[in-house]
Chains A and B, each alone.
Chain A
Amino acid sequence: MKHTILSAKGLCKSFAHNGGQLHVLSHVDLDLYEGDFTVIMGASGSGKSTLLYALSGMDRATAGEILYNDRDLVKMKEKELAKLRYTDFGFIFQQMHLVSNLTLFENVAVPGYLNKNHSAKEVRQRSDELLEQMSVSHIKTHLPAQVSGGEQQRCAVARAVVNSPRLLFADEPTGALNRKNTTDVLNLLTELNHDGQSVLMVTHDMRAALRANRILYLEDGKIVGELTLPPYHPEEEKSRETQVNAWLTSLEW
């Protein structure tokens, strides 16, 4: 029996549009489980990123509830949500979004410093370890503008996990990367997941989706399909790809 880490019920999100309301998410019900690598797929404009941002508390839902540790994220105050971001959640953006005037090391360490559970020394040690793990420790004193996109994204992954979050959100983390860097970043995420990290990733990249053990398909703001897979192993990638492809085809992707 898997333990539910985050649960959404009747989640809606609308935006004001041309004097009316554009309903992007429509009564989404969803449970995320501890240790899962969940992927949300869907066509452009289906509401994938909106769902991810709402679930992570980065954006407020219009209606519904998102329960985390028996508390509703929708009703949380800004300060409580902020705390959640540096204690329990990690986030990886498609465009890396590193702070341009901080070095790679500092970009990783700052959220660690923000979380007062660890001493500065411990944060520095953990940041160093993560940068080493992400293979960017040799350029840790560089500014983001001085390194490649892949290196930036690896640093962004290190930043997202520096506080050992219970749930890691990733919004198309490979969307801006070339093939090699994409593989590197996906390997990192898989490795983290194998170490017990819960991951929720939005992607429309088949190769990225293969890393998940659970794929949700979103269409017009609703979850219309779900595929459960065994944990990822590189040697099974071909058969996995065939299975996912067939499933997506059945959903007219």
Chain B
Amino acid sequence: MAYLAGMVGDDMEIITLLKANIRHKKGSFLSVILLTLIVAMSVTTILSIKEGAGKGILKAHELVDTPNLWIKYYAQKLTNQMIEEVKNDPRVAKVEVKDCLIGNKAIINKEEYTNSFHLMKAPEDTKLLKEDISDIAEDAPILRKGEIYVSQGLLTSVHGKIGETVVIETLAGNYTFRVKGICLEPMTGASVIGWKIFYISDADYAEMETAIAQKETDEEHAIGKEMNIYKADTCKLTDARFRRQLNRDTGVCNMGFGSITKDMSIHYTALFPQIIASILMVFIILLLGIVLIVTVHSISVEIESNYVTFGILKAQGFSTNQLRALFLFQYLIAEILGSSFGILFSIPVIKGTVNIFAPITGIPAVVSVPVLTILLILLALFLLSGISILLVTAKLSSISPVRAISGVKKEIYFDSRLNAPINQTLLSASLALRQFTAAKRRYISTFIIVTILVFFMMTISMLSNTFTSKSALYSMGAMIEEVVVTPKKQLTDQEYASIEKQIERFTKIEKCYYYRNVYFSFDDEEIMGQVFKNPEVLPAIKGRMPVYDNEIAVAQSLADEFNLTIGDEVSIGLEDKKERYLISGTVQLMTDTGRSFVISYDGAKKLGQEGWLFSCYSLADNKDKDKIADALNKRFGDIMEARTMDGMLDDTFEIAIDSMRLIIYVFSIIFSLVVVQMVCSKAFIGERRDIGIYKSLGFTCVKLRLQFAIRFFIVAILGSLLGSGLCFIFSGKMLSVLLYDVGITNFVTKFDMQTLLFPIFIICISFFIFSYLASGRVKRVEIRELVTE
């Protein structure tokens, strides 16, 4: 500050000049305010939504008093001895054991939900959400017979709503309920978590339990228990370590068929808001970069075009530092004003969007603005901006009063090697090209800005393309399941062959997966294992997929978490059996967000896991998939059940990516508009004389405006080419880093003409149209101004 005070001095001269400058150059001033406003508003909104979602999740866990470890069991597997053993463990504060019914298929809103779920008696203190999921409802009416409470995440997955019918398939037949309300279920209520809890009335529960108990056999069970384990205050272990150590000492997880810790639940529930916020924040940081570029460009052109004025000011006694301070204050004032308005305007935006992730998390967000983080980011912008301004204004020291006043300044135009001849047929275009090549420096900032915008627009288009392209998903190891066959018994190879022959009467099978997901103990940690009969169907990132029964392939993120590499051995257990397996390769798995591994059917058999496997098919042409499922059910209905799935991207992913794409495109277009407006204004000032000359030669306003627009079009094309190149090289790596948390460690980029051309088209056309509009002031240049110059 002392330096700044020294630059300004004690007099009012700088303030007078500052006021005059702002009044005279309203366009630049307002543009910087607008750009900073957009950035500040975006930063505030995105960070607030992210924090609001996170705090909402924590608040919900507190409100429902969720356990640190939640384990589900088939009832006969959970013994009193084990419960006592856990209760007596010094790391455990409290244990709750609750009865439940286990289901695997529910039909809601005509959509099937085929993940594992629990039916439980609704507790007295059930917390319900308001219908718009904006908050906790004031009361939860006691459920009557035929009524059910479900979590929002489930409704989002099946596009359901309150009042719709839920059909639950059980061993004892189908039971029909009506959705009475949405319950707050922070542990598994998010749409990204597969397990779900349904609450039903005591009367329904009793009736179903009795009926199911009568139908249970040694092979088929549906009556379960869930154990909620709360850590003692004295236990300082993380939830993951707590589960690992407790399981190692008591085998409490090994006996269950699934468990989740509170930390994991929070991580999974908040995953989506975090990833989307991260991607958008990268974009916003690039926009911050654009604000800096625009500021530097604007100052640079201003110095060039007001060379004489600065010379006169120097002749009157202004020092270089005072002139630098003039710029510094002018732009910092604009940025501070823009940031302040941005924060102010973000308040209604935050209120309107804070709950945007609630359909995915199933939890209402809390309105919370991370003031400190936002201020730090904006301070960083001011600081970087200040440094850039001081650097770019250093050239003011080279202006000498005498040289400036006598007009001895550097010629703006230089002979260029890139000069193309002026062509009669393409007169406007060739003149536009000349204007561009003669003053390339003027367009460098625009070029960089286009590069940044195109890079990001292309990256987000590519993200969407990859998730909708089968070939890209195959190479990423994603499983595309369009027809899923659930056997009713262990099928023979011949039966599988008959099923596939039936499918191939309609279309070719591109990929088929014979697998089942089972939770194993993986070095004493409960990890999802995908038991594959044909593990070679998935591509290994490194090494190879398991061939022998003592091999496994682990997801890259699991390998990173456990610090494992190819050739290492791990201990894998299931219930009371344990074996050692060699890691033969790494693979990309999105199941359980990458905390999973692949084991061969023979390998799992060693642990006693030899149940039936799903057979899932990805079809060459999926238009007949419903017909295929019908045909299979008709012909093989006694041994299997076939159903269809979307196969590609999950709806939630698709909506999120489309929303991000929309945000990024809209912001890019707004930035293009402001940047073009600003750069055009500066270019216009520099070329006012030439415009007058062209007019005197007989060029019409339309022709001159077209020349202006063509120049920006050329810059947009060149910037787009570099942006595309950078996208080719870096976007895959960038997305692998950003999507690491969902298990994508090796993002396979999928380019097509649309990915390439659409963003380029949008940006180039925006630049062309906006520069044409911005050059409207050409009309106002009278030729007689050439005389009065």
Q: In the assembly, what is the distance between CA of A98 and CA of B786, in Å?
A: 11
Say if the beta carbon of A111 comes within 8 Å of chain B.
yes
Chain B residue, CB-CB nearest to A141 = B415
| Residue from A49, A87, A101, A115 whose CB has the most chain B CB atoms within 10 Å | A101
Contacts of A109 in B (CB 8 A): 422
Chain A residue, CB-CB nearest to B782 = A59
Contacts of B701 in A (CB 8 A): 78
Would you call B422 and A97 a contact (CB within 8 A)? no
Would you call B693 and A114 a contact (CB within 8 A)? no
Contacts of B435 in A (CB 8 A): 101
Give the segment of A88-96, A129-137, A211-219, A236-244 that binds chain B. A88-96
Would you call B438 and A101 a contact (CB within 8 A)? yes
Say if the beta carbon of A86 comes within 8 Å of chain B.
yes
The size bracket of the interface on A is 35 or more
Q: In the assembly, what is the distance between CA of A57 and CA of B427, in Å?
A: 24
Say if the beta carbon of A143 comes within 8 Å of chain B.
yes
Contacts A110-B422, A120-B424 hold; do A85 and B694 have CB atoms under 8 A apart? no
The A51-102 residues at the B interface (CB cut-off 8 A) are 53, 58-59, 78-79, 82-87, 91, 93-95, 97-102
Q: In the assembly, what is the distance between CA of A123 and CA of B421, in Å?
A: 14
Contacts of B422 in A (CB 8 A): 102, 106, 109-110, 113
Would you call A93 and B787 a contact (CB within 8 A)? yes
Say if the beta carbon of A145 comes within 8 Å of chain B.
yes
| Residue from B431, B434, B694, B696 whose CB has the most chain A CB atoms within 10 Å | B696
Chain B residue, CB-CB nearest to A163 = B698
Contact mask for chain A residues 134-176; partner B; CB cutoff 8 A; 1 contact, 0 none: 0000000001010000000000000100000000000100000
Contacts of B690 in A (CB 8 A): 99-101
Would you call A94 and B787 a contact (CB within 8 A)? yes
Would you call B698 and A111 a contact (CB within 8 A)? yes
Would you call A113 and B696 a contact (CB within 8 A)? no
Say if the beta carbon of B734 comes within 8 Å of chain A.
no
Say if the beta carbon of B3 comes within 8 Å of chain A.
no
Contacts of A85 in B (CB 8 A): 696-698
Q: In the assembly, what is the distance between CA of A111 and CA of B696, in Å?
A: 10
Q: In the assembly, what is the distance between CA of A145 and CA of B412, in Å?
A: 10
Would you call A101 and B697 a contact (CB within 8 A)? no
Q: In the assembly, what is the distance between CA of A53 and CA of B782, in Å?
A: 11
Q: In the assembly, what is the distance between CA of A78 and CA of B700, in Å?
A: 7
Contacts A86-B698, A102-B434 hold; do A123 and B424 have CB atoms under 8 A apart? yes
Contacts A53-B784, A97-B786 hold; do A58 and B411 have CB atoms under 8 A apart? no
Q: In the assembly, what is the distance between CA of A102 and CA of B438, in Å?
A: 9
Would you call A145 and B411 a contact (CB within 8 A)? yes
Contact mask for chain B residues 29-71; partner A; CB cutoff 8 A; 1 contact, 0 none: 0000000000000000000000000000000000000000000
Contacts of B693 in A (CB 8 A): 97-99
Chain B residue, CB-CB nearest to A169 = B696
Chain A residue, CB-CB nearest to B694 = A99
Would you call A79 and B413 a contact (CB within 8 A)? no
Chain A residue, CB-CB nearest to B431 = A110
DSSP class of A's interface residues: helix, strand, loop or mixed? Answer: helix
Shortest Cβ gap from A174 to chain B (Å) = 15
Say if the beta carbon of B783 comes within 8 Å of chain A.
yes
Contacts of B415 in A (CB 8 A): 143
Would you call B689 and A97 a contact (CB within 8 A)? yes
Say if the beta carbon of B405 comes within 8 Å of chain A.
no
Shortest Cβ gap from A158 to chain B (Å) = 13
Q: In the assembly, what is the distance between CA of A189 and CA of B169, in Å?
A: 102
Chain A residue, CB-CB nearest to B435 = A101
Chain B residue, CB-CB nearest to A54 = B784
Contacts of A78 in B (CB 8 A): 700-701
Chain B residue, CB-CB nearest to A89 = B698
Contacts of A94 in B (CB 8 A): 787
Would you call B699 and A82 a contact (CB within 8 A)? yes
Contacts of A93 in B (CB 8 A): 696, 786-787
Would you call A91 and B439 a contact (CB within 8 A)? no
Q: In the assembly, what is the distance between CA of A186 and CA of B611, in Å?
A: 106
Contact mask for chain B residues 383-414; partner A; CB cutoff 8 A; 1 contact, 0 none: 00000000000000000000000000001110
Contact mask for chain B residues 76-103; partner A; CB cutoff 8 A; 1 contact, 0 none: 0000000000000000000000000000
Say if the beta carbon of B425 comes within 8 Å of chain A.
yes
Chain B residue, CB-CB nearest to A83 = B698
Query: Which of A86, A95, A98, A113 makes the CB contact (< 8 A) with B424?
Result: A113
Contacts of A53 in B (CB 8 A): 783-784, 787
Would you call B413 and A143 a contact (CB within 8 A)? yes
Would you call A145 and B698 a contact (CB within 8 A)? no
Contacts of A119 in B (CB 8 A): 424
The B772-789 residues at the A interface (CB cut-off 8 A) are 782-784, 786-787, 789
Say if the beta carbon of B692 comes within 8 Å of chain A.
yes
Shortest Cβ gap from A25 to chain B (Å) = 13
Would you call A58 and B783 a contact (CB within 8 A)? yes
Would you call B786 and A95 a contact (CB within 8 A)? yes
- Extra contacts, 17 of them, besides A110-B427, A113-B422 (Cβ < 8 A), are A49-B787, A59-B783, A78-B701, A82-B698, A85-B696, A91-B696, A93-B696, A94-B787, A95-B789, A97-B693, A97-B696, A99-B690, A101-B435, A102-B422, A111-B697, A114-B699, A145-B411
5 residue pairs from A and B, CB less than 8 Å apart: A58-B696, A91-B696, A93-B696, A94-B787, A97-B689
Q: Which 4 A-B pairs have the closest CB atoms?
A: A86-B698, A101-B438, A85-B698, A120-B424
